[in-house]
Every structure is written in structure tokens, then in C-alpha cells.
Structure 1
């Protein structure tokens, strides 16, 4: 009996903490989107079907405990914003409709993700729409990229470099075809990466610049709440089409793990100090960027088909122009998620230092390939998920 009472109290204590965090989220969302909503009473409900509910009479906003325990905090926040949109209609439009035109206006004002605008009871369907699905041509492209990454494990530098270049060529070719299609609904998604740390390292920020410039995503550093341990951590948010997010997340982990491994080797070999780490990391990323720039150095990017003939050419100027256009589309989703942003700064380093030069040489000799020792399944794993 005592054990049951103790467990019940622990659950109640955790629910109080969740309610406090939701209250903070409500306040922050109101500030982010420049609206003045009355802070409601926050209730953690026990229901599984009703994920969120606004009681206009008692001015109470309820969020499901089951939702908090089983889904990422991003999803919880989207449900919260949906209920805040109802509150907005109640306070500014005299509760004019349920999920009608005023509610849709409120959702746009609050940046509610399109998947969470409808009042559907089918949460599984809503969640799938939020996460998105890969078109068949995207799956085909990603499988080809996975095979090329496997070839990138070759011990021969020329073969590894050629495989890396072809993988990037396929990514560019596919993305340019999608951009040229002038899709009225680009279906931009976002993905959160959290290492459960209180700060973002300089190497992580530098990797984001590579992803932004070469992998068709935009990158933001932000905060996210972990409901299981009641802690707010710093996180990375990638924004782009689903297939781009899959590749960018893989590349992010590959470069982060490779960079850390190379730093430990350099540190042990040279008895390097802690202050050398930022210089080494920045050198490593500069070397990675050097490799990627080589792919745009020629006036034409070429790829051979299975018969050995030139398949397609991608003019560099046109490629860069279309990439800029693509980033503009992504910025719309970025503005929805983060209407107010602070400037990102990288760590300081000395380009002339030995640590930077060694990092740069390591980066030049690193090619994106399959198989990171302390990571999971790779791109094919994402395709099967």
C-alpha cells in the first residue's frame, strides 16, 4: 500500500512539473508570435483519445498525459498550439467557430503545423502526416546514395572521393528536379536532434553550416524539454523536405562522430590542450567544406550512367541559384517555427595554429561514407522506419 501511494505521489509530482513546463511554453509561444493570450490553468488529463482540450468556461487547457509520455515534445507543443488557437478564437473572435475560418486564421497566427490544424480524432493519421512519407523516387534516390556511401569505404582515396562526389551529384540532381517542378505544396518538415546537453559545441554549429550550404536544409539551435527527466536541453532543428532531412541527419552524426574520434587521436598523439579543440574542430570542418567546394569548382557537374555515357550535366550557376530558391521556401517553415531568432556565433579559433592545420588535413581526407561505429542503421534504416 505504501509503495502504491509513493508511486502515485511520484506521478502527481511529475504531472505538476509537466503542467509548469506547458505554462512556460504557453507564455513563450505567446511572446514568439506576438499575441496576448490570457494564461490558462493547465491540466494534465488521463485520457488517451482526447490529446488536448480547451474548456472555455473554466479557462482550463488540458493536455494528455499519455501524449506526453509517448511522443516527442515537439508533438506535445503542436497539440498545445492547436488548443491555443481555440483560445485565440475564444478571446479575439468571441468563440466564433470550432475549426472554421477563424480557427484557421488563429492557427496561421500561432504557426500551427498544417497536420495539426484539422480537428481529426485519428491521431495516428495526424502523426503520419506530421512526420511525412517518402515519395517512391526519393526512396530510389536514397538507396543509390546509400550504395555510394558503401563504396566510399574504399581504402583508395580516388575511389572514395569519386563515390562521395557521385552521392552529392545524385542529391543535387534530385533536389533540382523537385525545385524545378514548382510544387505549390513543398511539404517542408522539421526534425529535432537532442544530445541531452545544456550547450551546443562549436563543432556542432560548424557542421550545421555544411548542412545548410550543401544538403538542402536549414538549421536552427533551440531548446527542447525532455518530459522523462524534467529537463530543458539545447537542441538542433533541421528544416527541409523529408528526404533531405534523412540525409542531413545521417551526415550530421557521421561528421560529429568522425570529428570527435579524430580529435581524440590528435589529442593523444600531440598531448594537445583543451584550448586546441575548437581550432582542430574548425580546421576539420574547413577541410570538409573544401571537399564539398571541389564539387562546384568546375563549370559543369557530370555523372555517368550505367552504359558509361554522360547522363546529365548540372551547371553550377543554375544549381546555386536553385539552391537559393529552395532555401527561401524552407525559410517560410523556419519563420513558422521560430518567428524570433538570435544570431548564431561559432567558436573562436586561430587559422594558423597547428591544431587547425591538422584538423583541416583530416577533414580533406574524410569522405561521407556508410557505417559510423557508434551510430545506428544509416540511411537504409531510416527508409525502413
Structure 2
């Protein structure tokens, strides 16, 4: 028997091309709706008198090889490049949108039409919108800037030691691995406590952890608290566009120094991966639903938290210094947060009941969690690695 392979017809080619075009059009439509929703959200950051003078612009997506976005005063149009839309995270997209919106506010609200594009009016609009003045042209997207290696100065040489300890935490000996991880945690704590005590000027950055969603399971909130308590960042659940659902949802945005945001992002990815792997093993041959995964995940997080608490309590013996982790308030970070989030409200929700046995099993698994320098470029987590540049001496 032989197969008769026919050459695809022109009509079939046209149908496939039309389907691709339709999918691209649908994707662009969802993006444009998201840009409008984020624009309307950002508008409320402006004083009321200024807000009334800003009208909704047109939005467009175009191929722009040399730019990430643009604002056209004549067309009243904000354009974003197809590259930033297609290849980058939503917080990157939002950063470029706010930059172009700042141009609009400078022209239409502050009437800075005779100034250079990045003059005083534009910089004032950036401050009001919490926008990055550089987020256009050839500026690298936010997450790329935060995760690329950086030149270390003398006071930051401790980061090299932390990096080496995280490498040692990959040891096949569980005791050695955990000791290295906890020593790295102690150095992170001591380093940040010293910087805060010295009152040194520091730059702060904000980054999404995970993707925006309409609903977050309970473990996401437990993990957010752990990062705040032990890794010198602050988190805020903010509104953000959920592309797949075509609606505004929420995402955890963390803020802190560049190094601390990078480390927290790394820790977050490591714990999420550990939860998924441990749960896959635990639920094998068991009839357990998604809510039981939440119980197991919360247990893992609380078990790991216990390990860090014990390290903070015992790791400083003999040196006369207590390691209070994020309980040492960084007043400069507090001021940064107050400016970035001028309208904050609290919320709480009661989840369904939990399975005490699954929670306890998760807690036991969490006590065995060891975070090492294992999330690297070559293991499927391309953006989640600790990197730096330094002199070999």
C-alpha cells in the first residue's frame, strides 16, 4: 500500500495564512484592551485638576526596530513595538506604556509643548505616574536590567561570598548543603542590616513576581509574607491586565534594592518549582484535588520559614548581633513605597478548610528544602539565575 501525498492547494495556504492573521489580530486586540485598562488605572495617580485635562488616546502596535514605544502628539496615539508586546513580560510592557503616557501628560496636561522631549515637564509627569524616564528608545526592558550581571563595588563584595555559598548548597551531602544555604541567608541578612544602619543611599526597583491572575491560591500569599519577612523586600498586590482572560486581575509586585529584588525573585522561583515537584511525588496514587495542593504548599512554605527562623535565632551566637531580618525597617524603602502606592487598602479572604494531615506532610517536606544556585540558564529557568561580574582578584 502506498500513500498518495498531494501538494497543498492554494486555497489551503490561504486558509492557514488567514487563520494566523486572525490569531494575531485577536492577540493584538487583547493587548490593546490591556493597554487601555492600564492607562485608565494610571490616570488615577494624577491630581484631579490634571486628570481632567488628559483625554483617552489611541493605541497602536507596530514594528519599531529601534524603539520600544512612542507618543504622537499630532495623532494623539501611544504606540508600542511589537517586540516588547510579543517577547517580554507584562511589567515590561507597562513600564514602556507609562513612559509614553508621561509624554502625553507633559504635552496635554502640563502644556510643556515647547520643551525638549525629556525636559522638565516630562520628568514631572514621570514622577506623578511613577514612570521610568528611560523606558523607551534603546533602553533594555525592566527584568533584563535587573537580572544581568553588574559591576560590584567594595561594599558589595559580600555578594560574591553569597553567590559562592549558594553554589556550595548544591552539595550532595544534605547537611553541608543546608549549612551553606543558611550561611548565605545569614550573610544576606547581615549585609542588609548593615546597609540600613549606615543610612546609605540606595536605588529601589519594583518587579512582578509571576504572572497577573484573576485568582491566586492561598500559598501565593504565604510565600509573599515569607519573602517580606526574610529577604528585605516589600510586596504589594496590584491590579494588572490578565491577557488570557481579557480582564484586570492582580499580581504581586515586590520592591527593594536591585540585589534584593533579584534574590527574592530567585527564591520565589525556587520555592514554586520545589512545590510543584514535591506535590507531583506526594499525590502519586492518591485522590487529591487542587485545594489539597494548597494545603501541601502552605506546609512547605511554613516548614521552610521555620528553618529560616531557627537560623536567625542561632546563627548569630557568639558574635553579639541579632539578625531581625526585615523587622529592621528601611525608612528609605518605606518612603519609596509611599510614593509608588499612594492609594492602599487592606483586604482579607477566608479560604476553604484545610486537611491537617496534608498540611503536616507539606511542613515536613518544607524543612528539607534547600535553595542553591541551581536555577541557571541551562535548566529551563532562563531568567532565574544569580549572576554578577567582578574582578577575579
TM value normalised by structure 2: 0.75
Q: 1:142 to 1:356 in 2, by over 3 A?
A: same
Show CA shifts across 1:11-34 (max 9, x none). 555444433322222111113555
Show CA shifts across 1:205-240 (max 9, x none). 211211111011122344544779978775432322
Cα distance in structure 2, aligned partners of 1:212 and 1:219: 7
> Do the aligned residues in 2 keep the contact of 1:78 with 1:112 (CA within 8 Å)?
yes
Q: 1:337 to 1:69 in 2, by over 3 A?
A: farther
Cα distance in structure 2, aligned partners of 1:291 and 1:14: 45
Match of 2:321 in 1: 315
Report whether the alignment pairs 1:113 with 2:132.
yes
Report whether the alignment pairs 1:359 with 2:365.
no
Query: Secondary structure of the residue that 1:123 maps to in structure 2?
Result: coil
Match of 1:41 in 2: 58
Q: Which piece of structure 1 moves more, 93-102 or 208-217?
A: 93-102
Aligned counterpart for 1:376 among listed residues 373, 381, 388: 381
Structure 2 residue runs of 5 or longer lacking an equivalent are 1-9
Q: 1:379 to 1:40 in 2, by over 3 A?
A: closer
Match of 2:221 in 1: 205
Q: 1:347 to 1:206 in 2, by over 3 A?
A: farther
Match of 1:67 in 2: 84
> Do the aligned residues in 2 keep the contact of 1:287 with 1:363 (CA within 8 Å)?
yes
Structure with greater helix percent: 1
> Do the aligned residues in 2 keep the contact of 1:41 with 1:60 (CA within 8 Å)?
yes
> Do the aligned residues in 2 keep the contact of 1:278 with 1:348 (CA within 8 Å)?
no
Cα distance in structure 2, aligned partners of 1:265 and 1:246: 29
Size of the alignment, in residue pairs? 367
Q: 1:126 to 1:224 in 2, by over 3 A?
A: closer
Q: 1:345 to 1:76 in 2, by over 3 A?
A: same
Match of 2:32 in 1: 19
Output the aligned Cα RMSD. 4.0
Structure 1 residue runs of 5 or longer lacking an equivalent are 303-309
Q: 1:379 to 1:226 in 2, by over 3 A?
A: closer
Match of 1:136 in 2: 152
